[in-house]
Amino acid sequence: MDLVNHLEGRLLFAVPKKGRLLQASLNLLEGADIQFKRENRLDIALVKNLPIALIFLPAADIPTFVGEGRVDLGITGYDQVQEHDAGVRALARARRMSNEWDGKPRGCETIMDLGFGSCKLQVQVPAKGEYTESKHLVGKNIGTSFVHLARDFFARLEMEQEGITDPKQMEGRKLRTKIIELSGSVEAACALGVADGIVDLVESGETMKAAGLKAIDTVLETSAILIKSKAPSNPELVDLIASRIRGVITAQRFVLCQYNVPRDRLAAATAFTPGKRAPTVTSLDEEGWVAVSAMVEKKRIAPVMDDLLKVGAEDILVLDIQNTRCN
Ligand SMILES: Nc1ncnc2c1ncn2[C@@H]1O[C@H](COP(=O)(O)OP(=O)(O)OP(=O)(O)O)[C@@H](O)[C@H]1O
Ligand SMILES: O=P(O)(O)OC[C@H]1O[C@H](OP(=O)(O)OP(=O)(O)O)[C@H](O)[C@@H]1O
């Protein structure tokens, strides 16, 4: 089937085609009941139960497609959106200076944080080297895939060093720090003599440690986000998908805690389980007892159960939540 000709009338939704964000993104789509079958080697999949087409793209390119309004929705890293926006700002500055700027608004809007893909974009240097602060790298060679963010970061340091307070004074000036664009394995750049320092992502720190590097500064903290174009083709469908995805994320974050407690201890117990809006309290068929049920954040559930026991709750059950539609 010629999929490209079946896109008419469908909302286009970009999903990372590989890498760190792929599996968690597919899990979200499944939780949101977005059903599709991706044919081998095809980067477009038509959704069976909704007028949506999924477009599988590199995470780094998704902000461009969404920002240009070619795709309506996308999942990517906050770092990628920031890098794209910094690139758009640099282009706008360059074009303004040569009077070529077309004045068209570009960029995407963040709908929500998706709670996975958390890591930091950090300045890293050889662990046993002479540099201990990022200002020591001004005028040196920096290897990175995030060239625009790295350029902005070092431009700010250069401004500080030169006592410049108005960013406009930096426009048109050549950066003393040399930003070297690398598309992967950035951590190898220092050992191979290509760079004095790098700007790269760090999650566990294993890659950095194995390459003999240490972090000396953080450019930004990032996680996966859902973004939309400024003028999506079907805003109602965007809202529906956003609401489903929000429901899946809430279900992943919370558990349902149920317990029985003597009525005279109810206030003490519900202080630990206030629920999202309020706990549900029902009478038990036993004088003086009530049953309580409330959503509790998964990461807090063990201490909450300890506290409930201490205030006299009994028969405490914790249940997984399949899905939700909450505010
Ligand atoms: N170690 C990591 N831990 C958590 N999230 C990460 C990590 N590395 C990258 N990410 C997130 O995933 C996004 C995509 O990175 P990833 O390296 O998986 O992409 P990719 O498309 O496979 O690119 P490449 O081919 O350059 O590796 C990053 O922009 C970041 O938001
Ligand atoms: O702190 P860690 O948990 O070790 O993760 C950090 C590594 O993960 C990313 O690279 P990735 O493995 O995606 O490959 P790449 O170097 O090809 O981008 C990033 O660029 C680091 O190299």
CATH number, domain with residue 176: 3.40.190.10
pLDDT in tens, 228-245: 999 999 999 999 999 999
Residues of the chain below pLDDT 70: 1-4, 97-106, 327
Q: What is the pLDDT of residue 3?
A: 65
Q: Do 122 and 199 meet the contact criterion of CB atoms below 8 Å apart?
A: yes
Q: What are phi and psi of 12, to 5 degrees?
A: -95, 125
Taking the CA of 20 as reference, the closest ligand is: 1
Q: Are residues 102 and 48 in the same domain?
A: yes
Please report whether residue 326 resides in a domain: no
Q: What is the pLDDT of residue 163?
A: 84
Q: What is the pLDDT of residue 164?
A: 82
Q: What is the pLDDT of residue 41?
A: 83
Q: What is the pLDDT of residue 89?
A: 85
Q: What is the pLDDT of residue 177?
A: 97
Atom of ligand 1 nearest to the CA of 223: 31
Q: Are residues 175 and 278 in the same domain?
A: no
Atom of ligand 2 nearest to the CA of 207: 4
Please report whether residue 239 resides in a domain: no
| Residue ending a domain, choose from 233, 265, 294 | 233
Q: Are residues 112 and 170 in the same domain?
A: no
pTM, full prediction: 0.90
Q: Please report how the helices 78-97 and 147-162 are oriented relative to each other, as an axis angle in degrees rounded to 10.
A: 60
Q: What is the value of ipTM here, to two decimals? A: 0.95
Taking the CA of 80 as reference, the closest ligand is: 1
Q: What is the pLDDT of residue 253?
A: 92
Q: What is the pLDDT of residue 324?
A: 87
Please report whether residue 127 resides in a domain: yes
Q: What is the pLDDT of residue 99?
A: 62
CA distance 44 to 181: 29
Q: Are residues 21 and 75 in the same domain?
A: yes
Biggest CA pair distance of the chain: 82
Name the 3-class secondary structure at 294: strand
Q: Are residues 228 and 97 in the same domain?
A: yes
Please report whether residue 325 resides in a domain: no
| Residue in 149, 207, 214 to alter for ligand 2 test, most ligand atoms within 8 A of Cβ | 207
Q: What is the pLDDT of residue 276?
A: 87
Instruction: Provide the domain limits for residue 277.
Output: 254-320
Please report whether residue 52 resides in a domain: yes
Q: Are residues 53 and 178 in the same domain?
A: no
Q: What is the pLDDT of residue 7?
A: 85
How many distinct structural domains can be found in the chain? Answer: 3
CB distance 77 to ligand 1 below 6 Å = yes
| Residue in 20, 183, 220 to alter for ligand 1 test, most ligand atoms within 8 A of Cβ | 20
Please report whether residue 244 resides in a domain: no
Q: Are residues 276 and 184 in the same domain?
A: no
Q: Are residues 229 and 112 in the same domain?
A: yes
CB distance 80 to ligand 1 below 6 Å = yes
Q: Are residues 108 and 151 in the same domain?
A: no
Give the residues across from 142 on adjacent strands: 179, 197
Q: Are residues 90 and 39 in the same domain?
A: yes
CATH code of residue 259:
3.30.70.120
